[in-house]
Amino acid sequence: MAFDLQVFNKQTHLALTETVDQDIEKFNQASGGVITLQNAPTQGDFDIRASFKAIQGLVRRRNAYGSGTVQAKRLEQLLNVAVKVAAGTHPIEYEPQQYRWVLQNPELAAVEIGQQLAKARLADMLNTAILGAVAAIGGQTTAVLDDKKNAPNFRTLNKAAALFGDRSSALKAWIVHSTTLHTLYDNALTNAERLFTYDNVSVMRDPFGRLFVVTDSPALVDSTGAAYNTLGLQENAVMVSGNNDFNSEMQPKLGGENIAAVYQAEWTYNLGILGYEWDMTAGGKSPDDTKLGASANWRKTATSLKDTAGVLVKTK
């Protein structure tokens, strides 16, 4: 039974691509689009796009009988900067002879590796999105409701939504840790509609109409370990864009008891937060999780808090 490394690599990539595409589509639809996963390749280390800053006090009251001068307002452009994140796998060793020994096709392992890697890639993208959102929003005191001494309840979430004022209805979903959700259950959450489940991510809807996206992402646990972070996000709050640069290699490994093969892959994606830009100087290129999770590396560009990604709630 011949074993072709190139065929194995192609089958792994095919299984990976099909799984990722299906799950990304399901996640984007079910989560209300607050964290959007997409393919939008960019060149260079940053994705820099220009947008116009909202003009504050654009409409004025005039004196129909006056003759004085009026101070001008400027139409200004903003640079929205998303950062490119590099990711990859550890080398994965595999011995084709193990399958031949039991008269199975060694290429069956290709599908398994592809499916596992697809789930791991999606989980990494989601965890990075949440890490960046917690850091960016957490750097704005007006966007944070700090109630770490108390357990979460719907009054707490309502107070957090109130930080958006008359735009509170723009908040479409809560990104919560499972511990937070079960505490909310204990505080009389009795009507939840399960919409979508993907490995360690669940999406539900609460009685107020906002979605609960439930995942035990590391960034949803406070750095002290004694509190939890909850994100209230509006549509397109976080954008994670793949660059279509997935590259993988499979090579034989000799010198051991049995002939082995080694698989390794790498890829990149861009992370952007609505109303914030990546500090290209302070944060730098190809950041690690420590830099992505530092509030100082995310600068607010939107004039109004209501035009940013959302709010952050800290509870016990």
Decide the pairing of beta strands 228-234 and 171-176.
Answer: antiparallel
pTM of the model: 0.80
Q: How far apart are CA 211 and CA 176, in angstroms?
A: 10
User: What pLDDT, on the 0 to 100 scale, is given for residue 188?
Assistant: 58
Which pair of tokens denotes residue 40? 């939008």
Residue type at 273 in one-letter notation: I
In a domain, 57, yes or no: no
Identify the H or E element spanning 86: strand 77-88
In a domain, 63, yes or no: no
In a domain, 131, yes or no: yes
User: What pLDDT, on the 0 to 100 scale, is given for residue 1?
Assistant: 38
Identify the H or E element spanning 13: helix 5-30
User: What pLDDT, on the 0 to 100 scale, is given for residue 40?
Assistant: 60
Contact call for residues 288 and 86 (beta carbons, < 8 A): no
User: What pLDDT, on the 0 to 100 scale, is given for residue 189?
Assistant: 47
Q: Taking the C-alpha atoms of 31, 274, 219 and 193 in order, what is their torsion angle to the nearest 10 degrees?
A: -20
- If one counts the domains in the chain, the total is 1
Cβ-in-10-Å burial (0-12, 13-18, 19+) of 81 comes to buried
Contact call for residues 156 and 236 (beta carbons, < 8 A): no
User: What pLDDT, on the 0 to 100 scale, is given for residue 150?
Assistant: 95
In a domain, 68, yes or no: no
User: What pLDDT, on the 0 to 100 scale, is given for residue 199?
Assistant: 62
In a domain, 223, yes or no: yes
User: What pLDDT, on the 0 to 100 scale, is given for residue 48?
Assistant: 52
> What residues make up the domain containing 247?
5-52+75-315
In a domain, 61, yes or no: no
Contact call for residues 15 and 6 (beta carbons, < 8 A): no
Q: How far apart are CA 167 and CA 123, in angstroms?
A: 30
Contacts of 218 (CB under 8 A, 6+ apart): 127, 131
User: What pLDDT, on the 0 to 100 scale, is given for residue 207?
Assistant: 62
User: What pLDDT, on the 0 to 100 scale, is given for residue 125?
Assistant: 92
User: What pLDDT, on the 0 to 100 scale, is given for residue 93?
Assistant: 87
Instruction: Tell me the average confidence (pLDDT) per consecutive run of 10 residues in the chain, 316 residues long.
Output: 49 54 72 83 53 69 83 64 93 81 68 82 92 98 97 92 96 95 74 55 71 92 92 95 88 90 92 94 96 98 94 98
